[in-house]
Amino acid sequence: MKDISRRKVLKEIGLISLGMTMLNKGALSGNKGESFSIKDINRTNNSDIDFDRPVTAIVLGAGERGNVYAGYAVKNPNELNIVGVAEPIPYRINKFSKQHQIPKEKQFVTWEHVFEQEKFADAVIISTPDKLHYGAAMKALEMGYDLLLEKPIAQSWKECNDILQQQKKFNNIVAVCHVLRYAPYFLKMKEVIDSGKIGEVINVQHLEPVSFDHIAHSYVRGPWKNEKESTPMLLAKSCHDIDIIKWILNKKCERVSSFGSLKWFKPQNAPKGCTKRCTDGCAVEAACPYSAIKIYARDKGWHLRYLDVKERSFEHIVEKLKTSPYGLCVYHAGNDVVDHQVVNMQFEEDITVGFTMAFAGYAGRRTRVMGSMGDIVGDMTNLHVFNYNTKKRETWNTDDIDIDDGAFADHGHGGGDIRLARDFVRAVKLQDPKQLTSTIDASMESHLIGYMAEKSRKEGGKMYTINMKA
Ligand SMILES: NC(=O)c1ccc[n+]([C@@H]2O[C@H](COP(=O)([O-])OP(=O)(O)OC[C@H]3O[C@@H](n4cnc5c(N)ncnc54)[C@H](O)[C@@H]3O)[C@@H](O)[C@H]2O)c1
């Protein structure tokens, strides 16, 4: 009887095959983690809570991420209501305000204006560019707002610490948008490790392949191309990776070292005949995989959203590229962040970890966890768990998981975005930070690892110890 009900629960959450073997996991030694549950893996709202009124929030930065989180209000208006917005780009603020019916007096050009008014919402969603997180977070916390704070927390370790201290002083709920912690795939990976199924973790290999068009769009031409304007690549992109490794292991990182550089996207690699802009009559445009005309005007992929084009015709997009930073040649874009990097980490209990970020023809994080009794191989869709004793391999995949739809469709981080929004709303509603796995406290160590690894890279791979008290 007991087994049947467990089976029913596992079936409901789509984990039947792996769950069945976990019932027989035997006496393998475990990697006991923090208290953790995947019971809610397939629930993408808070239908179990009675909302007498929705949680109210103000969005700072109505760009990509601001629209993603505000999308939760569109899907669940009884739970979340967006009541204010700050955004300097007229096209974006108008579109956003219309969608969320925000009155004129609650539409602001810049985040500072929001805080000139008395507190008028429960929470603030900070989805401004990286360099504007700090000021907005400090002020929002002081005024008593709860915070959904995009990663990276801030541009330096000191600023991250200031925000943490501010949170402690005013006792607000702060969720850092480490969305992978909420993705069913990584929840499952953590569950397998915590169960002891692969014994003790010996080593982790984690790869973040950034697709070649994505690196060109975001880290060569786009908002994260300069360290001073945003953060180093390791924080801007791969703080998710460092964080998820730290989270699945639930161990302290002791030492770190890193190598990496900007190897390809620089003037000396420009082919003969290329021009400063792809639209300037570049002689090699047709053969260039990074051509802005190809990426935005011909292929019209997800990147096009960043261009704010009113119509999607080839001619209109090419016209826009003539003045937009997204029309710059990738070899002449003035970028300075790395295009490949490796980080070596030594965790407590002698666990070694190697992380690589590089560009490739595919995307989707690849992770291998090598344990004493088994191993895990995953690609964000399939999770294979191999048992050294039985020599059997079980596979779990994301097919049964309700990933996303609506505003979450193209940028859902495997279902992590919507589940983070769900848990943030829940935490604010219940005034309970325990509803979150990525509180600011829990997110600090991975930021420190990132900052120290970047320091190491700049110093030729020097090894640094990770000391949270320093
Ligand atoms: N969690 C994730 O997986 C994830 C993914 C992508 C980006 N991010 C982070 O989210 C943040 C936003 O990234 P994005 O992709 O949405 O970028 P975006 O450029 O689409 O959005 C940022 C918005 O902020 C606006 N803005 C600029 N100055 C402002 C000001 N003074 N006041 C108010 N708004 C202002 C911009 O006009 C823009 O619309 C960044 O910190 C980024 O690193 C996180």
What DSSP string describes 8-43?
Answer: HHHHHTT-HHHHHHHTT-TTPPP---SS---TTTT-
Ligand 1 pocket test, candidate residues 111, 113, 128, most atoms within 8 A of CB: 128
pLDDT in tens, 216-246: 999 999 999 999 999 999 999 999 999 999 9
Ligand 1 contact, 131 CB (< 6 A): no
Bridge partner residues of 259 (DSSP)? 342
Tokens encoding 266 = 């620089």
Q: Find the DSSP H helices in 143-225.
A: 157-170, 184-195, 212-214
Q: Sign of dihedral through CA atoms 461, 248, 64, 428?
A: negative
Closest CA to 193 of 443, 385, 13, 431: 385
Out of 58, 60, 64, mutate this one to test ligand 1's pocket (max ligand atoms within 8 Å of CB): namely: 64
Q: How do the domains of the chain map onto residue ranges?
A: 200-266+335-401+441-465, 267-327
At the fourth CATH level, the homologous superfamily of domain 200-266+335-401+441-465 is: Dihydrodipicolinate Reductase; domain 2 (3.30.360.10)
Burial per residue of 44-74, b for 16 or more beta-carbon CB atoms within 10 angstroms, e otherwise = bbbeeeeeeebbbbbbbbbbebbbbbbbbbe
> Ligand 1 atom closest to Cα of 177?
1
Cα gap 421→39, rounded to integer Å: 17
From the CA of 346, how far away is ligand 1's center (Å)? 33
- The pLDDT value given to residue 39: 59
Structure confidence at residue 408 (pLDDT): 53
**Predicted pLDDT at 321:** 97
Which segments of the chain have a pLDDT < 50? 1-36, 407, 410-411
Residues 6+ apart with CB under 8 A from 305: 64
Q: pLDDT for 326-351, tens place per residue?
A: 999 999 999 999 999 999 999 999 99
Nearest C-alpha neighbor of 174 from the set 446, 437, 440, 420: 440
DSSP 63-77: SHHHHHHHHHHHH-T
Q: What is the pLDDT of residue 38?
A: 59
CB count in 10 Å sphere of residue 402: 14
CB 84 less than 6 A from any atom of ligand 1: no
Q: Report the pLDDT value the prediction gives residue 44, as an integer from 0 to 100.
A: 84
Half-sphere exposure of 33 (CA within 13 A, CB side): 20
The pLDDT value recorded for residue 42 is: 74
